[in-house]
């Protein structure tokens, strides 16, 4: 990232304390008939998650300092049960505020499925998770998703103007009341804050009174990310949000994510572009197992995965 530009972006504080997301026994097994769409998110609050941790108990994978005792190779397998297809099984990992994790792997390996699992959007998944020491079972799914925000590949902006689209989340109940129904102090950002933040994250070319439908795909993607940034989640799960963008817009998207990490958020992003130098960690999901890679390994695997995807694309055209 350009240092001068990064310094200009650091005026807005979104998160003051780095977060800690701990996940154990992350598993997804889908019916064979649904395996082709295992990554499709569901917004049902009755998705089949289980939360085995007792409230207040520390996860077994962390010592008293919060450091994970897992090895670089995170547990996982591609086991299959009768009538189901296991996408991944028994994964465990920890993510901290300031991390920018690149999640790579072959096409169809379950990367998007893992993100929707972490956001409680996958009805075929089970997991044990804690955020900042709080058991996920102690929150409603809506509260969890407000703190662990999933950003889909295709941006969606609803409203007559860009301003309306940005402010839409603040009209939702989860931003107005806590899980017990008590009012919460989460005021919608004012005009000056929105405009200032747009400018600071490289969106100075976007007018608030403009119709969202008049924006380019790259502009829509950046506005969606800005909207999520303004809601101040603890974790951002970015699912190929730079796919289909030109290099300039993809770089601006990367800057926004790096800025969010600098403010204490944890970022996990699925991407198929060459490394942009912003990731602090790289995970590879393949054959149901999740592996943390060293930098030289990440580069080699990224090249191999992109080559395989290119070959698949050419094959589809034949």
Domain boundaries, the chain: 2-31+84-312
Q: Tens of pLDDT along the chain (318 residues)?
A: 344 333 333 334 444 577 899 999 999 998 876 555 454 565 444 333 333 333 333 333 333 333 333 334 454 444 444 588 999 999 999 999 999 999 999 999 999 999 999 999 999 999 999 999 999 999 999 899 999 999 988 888 999 999 999 998 888 877 777 777 777 777 788 889 888 888 877 788 889 999 999 998 888 888 998 889 889 999 999 999 988 888 988 898 899 899 899 989 999 999 888 889 999 999 999 999 999 998 767 667 766 676 676 666 544 433
HSE-CB of 233 using CA atoms within 13 angstroms: 28
Task: With CA atoms as reference, report the closest residue to 75 among 14, 25, 112.
Answer: 25
Q: Is 102 left (phi over 0), alpha (psi -120 to 50) or beta?
A: beta
Query: Residue 59 has what pLDDT?
Result: 37
Q: Beta strand 100-104 with 281-286: parallel, antiparallel or unpaired?
A: parallel
State the pTM of this model. Answer: 0.75
Contact between 48 and 123 (Cβ < 8 Å) = yes
Q: The CATH number of 2-31+84-312 is which of 2.40.50.140, 3.30.1370.60, 3.40.50.300, 3.30.470.20? A: 3.40.50.300
Vertex 220: Cα angle to 215 and 223 (nearest 5): 115
Query: Residue 78 has what pLDDT?
Result: 43
> Is 301 strand, coil or helix?
helix
Q: How far apart are CA 108 and CA 114, in angstroms?
A: 11
Which regions of 16-132 does DSSP assign to beta strands (E)?
Answer: 20-31, 73-74, 84-96, 100-104, 125-131
Q: How far apart are CA 75 and CA 289, in angstroms?
A: 6
Residue whose tokens read 């796919």: 243
Sign of CA dihedral 7, 11, 14, 17: positive
Task: With CA atoms as reference, report the closest residue to 59 among 116, 135, 1.
Answer: 135
Tokens for 232? 């101040």
Element (H, E) at 223: helix 217-230
Tokens for 86? 């296991």
Q: CA separation (Å) from 286 to 54, 62, 89, 312?
A: 31, 25, 12, 17
> Is 164 strand, coil or helix?
helix
């Amino acid at each position: 990232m350009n240092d001068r530009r990064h310094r200009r972006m650091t005026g807005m504080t979104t998160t003051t304390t780095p977060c800690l997301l701990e996940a154990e026994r992350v598993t997804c097994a889908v019916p064979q008939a649904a395996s082709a769409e295992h990554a499709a998110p569901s917004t049902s609050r009755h998705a089949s998650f289980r939360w085995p941790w007792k409230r207040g108990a520390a996860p077994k994978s962390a010592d008293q300092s919060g450091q994970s005792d897992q090895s670089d190779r995170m547990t996982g397998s591609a086991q299959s049960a009768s009538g189901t297809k296991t996408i991944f099984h028994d994964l465990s990992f920890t993510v901290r505020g300031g991390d920018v994790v690149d999640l790579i792997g072959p096409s169809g390996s379950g990367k998007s499925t893992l993100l929707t699992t972490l956001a409680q959007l996958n009805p075929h998944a089970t997991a044990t998770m804690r955020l900042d020491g709080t058991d996920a079972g102690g929150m409603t799914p809506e509260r969890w998703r407000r703190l662990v925000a999933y950003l889909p590949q295709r941006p969606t902006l609803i409203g007559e103007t860009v301003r309306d689209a940005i402010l839409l989340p603040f009209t939702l109940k989860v931003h107005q009341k806590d899980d017990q129904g008590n009012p919460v102090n989460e005021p919608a950002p004012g005009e000056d804050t929105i405009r200032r933040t747009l400018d600071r994250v490289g969106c100075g070319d976007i007018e608030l009174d403009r119709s969202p439908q008049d924006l380019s795909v790259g502009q829509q993607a950046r506005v969606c990310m800005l909207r999520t940034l303004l809601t101040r989640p603890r974790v951002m799960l970015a699912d190929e949000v730079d796919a289909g963008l030109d290099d300039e817009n993809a770089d601006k998207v990367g800057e926004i994510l790096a800025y969010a990490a600098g403010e204490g958020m944890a970022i996990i992003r699925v991407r198929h572009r060459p490394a942009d130098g912003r990731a602090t960690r790289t995970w590879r999901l393949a054959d149901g197992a999740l592996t943390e890679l060293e930098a030289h390994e990440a580069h080699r695997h990224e090249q191999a995965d992109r080559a395989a995807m290119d070959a698949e694309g050419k094959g589809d055209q034949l």
